Each structure stands twice: as C-alpha cells, then as structure tokens.
C-alpha cells in the first residue's frame, strides 16, 4: 500500500490516464474519488460512469449527450456525462463491461479530446481526466478479442493495483477502528483483544467492503463498550473459516495454497527461511511460488 500511495502522490496532478485494478471491495472507487479530491481538479465534477449498469443501447447518449430532435423523445438537448465532467474527472467503473463497438467510440473521444453530441455536428471539448477500473484480467480479454488493445494502451498509462485485504492484514486494525468510529452506534471504545485477533486472522474474501459491513453489524449487536467475539459474524469465528470459505467460493488448490503461503509469510513477518521451514519446502521453492502468485 505504501508503494501504491507513493505512486499516487507522484501522479495525482499529472493528467495521465489511470487504470485501477483489484478484487471486488478492495477500494477502487474509494481510491478514484480520493485521487480526484486531492488533485487540482477537485473543484470540478467527479463523474462516475458504471459501465456494467448502463444499458448498452443507452450508453452513447449517456456518454455523449444528444441534440434536440435526435430521437422522438429528444425534446431538448441533453448534456452527456463527458461534457458534464468539464475539467474534472470521469471514472469508468467496470470498463470491461463495454462492448468492443462502444470501446472504439470511447477510444476516439479520449484520443481526439473531443466528440459530438448524438445528432450534432459541433465539436465538444473533452477535458476531464480519465480513470478506469476493473476486477477482471484485461490482458486475457485482449487475447480473446473482447477488449481492444489500443484502448487498453490508452487507459493504462499508469496502473494502480490495490492488494486484497488478506495481503495487508497490518491495515486491518486501523480500518476496523475507523469503521467503528463511523458507526451510527456510539459509545463503543474499541475491540477486545480476542475479537481484534479474530478480525485480523480472517481472510476477508469480500475485502474492505466486507470488513466495513462486519464492523458496522458488530457495533449494533455489541452490548458492552468493546466489540467482543460474540458480536462478530459466525464465519469469522468458525475455526474452519478458511476451509469453509474455500469450499463455498470454490477455490482451486492453487488459490488455497496462495492464501496459506500468504498467511505464513505474514505470521513470520516475511522471514522466508522460517516460512519455508513451516511450509515444509525449501527457500528456493518458496521464492518461486511467491513469484508465481505475485506475493510481495
Ligand atoms: N482505504 C479505505 N479506507 C476507508 N474505507 C475504505 C477504504 N477502501 C475501501 N473502503 C470502503 O470499502 C467499501 C468498498 O470500497 P469500493 O466500493 O471502493 O470497492 P471497489 O474495489 O470499487 O469494489 P467493486 O469491485 O465491488 O466495485 C466502501 O464502503 C469504501 O468506502
Ligand atoms: Mg467499484
């Protein structure tokens, strides 16, 4: 996370296109909004475009707007989202959901820095910064022809990959404390040690979003002035929670191995010799596996 934030600091006021990657719930939207809020564009709009939620046939008019009379229903000119963003930021969430035809139209607008409203001739300048996000593997979609390579090059001038919460368990106590402070239920002063340990040990398949929900619920259920294990969701307390989650979410053996290695590295504070001994493999094999799984 420190490396990620160092990169963010460098690019926050440079108008490069950013691609934010990471599993569901890691905080991609949160980061996009934070970058906008810290940038020189912060007084201008932040426009969120959820590519997966806008119906395909409405996308163009949502994006580019239209002139009066373009369709039967077009009683007045409509300003699209690119125009509404002015000199702010447009955030294309779930960019992989766009069809290749729409990808081509979006690419043209980004490259030419201008577009026309549907049914119009006059050019509209496109001056917003572009941030995109996805939790799918865009390289694989490029390989299978579902995502345009030229658009990928254009949007990922800088890629920001947010690690899953299980790979940054050090962040859990602070995040949990922040969610507790934000909870509508006041008067809870913190976590009892066993509860905190349980929260840290859990694998958080739903990442920060899941943590937020669990803490909010615990704050509502807790009767004392500290969060206790009893207030935590059952799945956290279940001794077999990792295996239960694995079977429920249909992990492969590789995924299980990755998480176990991750956990052992965390507990040994990334002491590779000790971790290798615990795992019953040699240090070289551990380093190879670390590389294969992209662990840090
Ligand atoms: N660093 C953080 N500090 C505080 N809250 C955070 C942080 N990261 C994420 N959150 C919170 O976690 C929740 C999920 O974050 P967000 O919606 O940004 O995830 P996402 O990666 O966009 O998920 P999805 O892929 O499902 O769209 C939100 O409530 C967000 O406010
Ligand atoms: Mg999101």
pLDDT digits (tens, 9 = 90+) for 168-216: 988 999 999 999 999 988 889 999 888 888 898 888 989 999 999 999 9
Domain identity same for 35 and 145: yes
For the Cβ of 181 lying below 6 angstroms from any atom of ligand 1, the answer is no
Domain identity same for 81 and 10: yes
CA angle, 257 then 197 then 227, to 5°: 135
Domain identity same for 185 and 122: no
The minimum-distance atom of ligand 1 relative to the CA of 133 is: 22
For the Cβ of 27 lying below 6 angstroms from any atom of ligand 1, the answer is yes
Separation of alpha carbons 212 and 178, rounded Å: 9
Q: Which residues pair with 160 in a beta bridge?
A: 20
Of the three residues 105, 137, 161, the one that is the final residue of a domain is 161
Of the three residues 107, 138, 161, the one that is the final residue of a domain is 161
Question: How far, in Å, are 94, 135, 140, 190 from residue 146 at the CA level?
Answer: 14, 15, 9, 48
3-state SS track over 260-285: HHHHHHHHCCCCHHHHHHHHCCCHHH
Percent of the chain with pLDDT over 90: 71
CA of 54 to the centre of ligand 2 (A): 14
Separation of alpha carbons 37 and 209, rounded Å: 21
The pLDDT, as a whole number, for residue 245 is 66
Closest Cα to atom 1 of ligand 1: 27
The pLDDT, as a whole number, for residue 255 is 85
Domain identity same for 173 and 266: yes
CA of 207 to the centre of ligand 1 (A): 8
Domain identity same for 25 and 151: yes
- Overall average pLDDT of the 106-110 stretch: 95
Q: Output phi, psi for 244, to 5 deg.
A: -65, -45
Residue indicated by tokens 């409203």: 117
- Overall average pLDDT of the 55-60 stretch: 91
Kindly state the helix (H) or strand (E) to which residue 37 belongs, with its residue range: helix 28-38
Domain identity same for 151 and 185: no
Q: Which residue has the higher pLDDT, 236 or 30?
A: 30
Exposure string over 70-108, b if 16+ CB within 10 A, otherwise e: beeebeeebebbbbebeebbbbbbbbbbbeeebbebbbe
Please list the helix, strand and coil fractions of the chain in percent, rounded to the nearest 5, in that order: 50, 15, 35
The minimum-distance atom of ligand 1 relative to the CA of 93 is: 27
Domain identity same for 201 and 181: yes
Q: Which residue has the higher pLDDT, 239 or 92?
A: 92
Count of other CB atoms within 10 angstroms of residue 36? 22
Q: What is the pTM (predicted TM-score) of this model?
A: 0.81
pLDDT band at 142 (very low <50, low <70, confident <90, very high): very high
Domain identity same for 154 and 136: yes
The minimum-distance atom of ligand 1 relative to the CA of 30 is: 18
pLDDT band at 241 (very low <50, low <70, confident <90, very high): low
Domain identity same for 7 and 127: yes
CATH number of 214's domain? 1.10.8.60
For the Cβ of 168 lying below 6 angstroms from any atom of ligand 1, the answer is no
Of the three residues 133, 161, 189, the one that is the final residue of a domain is 161
For the Cβ of 125 lying below 6 angstroms from any atom of ligand 1, the answer is no
pLDDT band at 157 (very low <50, low <70, confident <90, very high): very high
The pLDDT, as a whole number, for residue 12 is 92
The pLDDT, as a whole number, for residue 242 is 66
Domain identity same for 7 and 140: yes
Q: Would the pLDDT of 239 be above 70?
A: no
Domain boundaries, position 18: 2-161
Q: Which residue has the higher pLDDT, 31 or 242?
A: 31
- Overall average pLDDT of the 4-14 stretch: 94
Domain identity same for 10 and 154: yes
Total number of domains in the chain = 2
The pLDDT, as a whole number, for residue 296 is 63
Domain identity same for 145 and 27: yes
């Amino acid at each position: 996370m420190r490396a990620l934030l160092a990169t963010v600091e460098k690019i926050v006021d440079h108008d490069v296109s950013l691609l934010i990657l990471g599993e569901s719930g890691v905080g991609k939207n949160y980061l996009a909004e934070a970058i906008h809020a810290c940038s020189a564009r912060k007084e201008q709009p932040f426009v969120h475009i959820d590519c997966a939620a806008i119906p395909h046939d409405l996308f163009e008019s949502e994006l580019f707007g239209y002139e009066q009379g373009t369709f039967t229903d077009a009683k007045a000119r409509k300003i699209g989202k690119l125009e509404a963003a002015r000199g702010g930021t447009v955030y294309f969430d779930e960019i992989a959901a766009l069809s290749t035809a729409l990808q081509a139209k979006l690419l043209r607008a980004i490259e030419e820095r201008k577009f026309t409203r549907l049914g119009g001739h006059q050019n509209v300048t496109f001056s917003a910064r572009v941030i995109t996000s996805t939790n799918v593997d865009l390289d694989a979609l490029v390989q299978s022809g579902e995502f345009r390579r030229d658009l990928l090059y254009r949007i990922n001038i800088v890629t920001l990959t947010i690690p899953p919460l299980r790979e940054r368990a050090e962040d859990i106590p602070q995040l949990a404390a922040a969610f507790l402070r934000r909870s509508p239920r006041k008067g809870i002063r913190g976590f009892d040690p066993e509860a905190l340990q349980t929260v840290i040990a859990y694998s958080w398949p739903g990442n920060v979003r899941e943590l937020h929900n669990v803490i909010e619920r615990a704050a509502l259920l807790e009767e004392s002035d500290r969060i206790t294990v009893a207030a935590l969701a059952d799945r956290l307390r279940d001794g077999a929670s990792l295996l239960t989650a694995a079977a429920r979410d249909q992990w492969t053996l590789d995924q299980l191995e990755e998480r176990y290695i991750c956990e052992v590295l965390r507990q040994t504070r990334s002491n590779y010799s000790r971790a290798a001994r615990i795992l019953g493999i040699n240090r070289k094999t551990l380093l190879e596996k670390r590389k294969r799984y992209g662990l840090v």
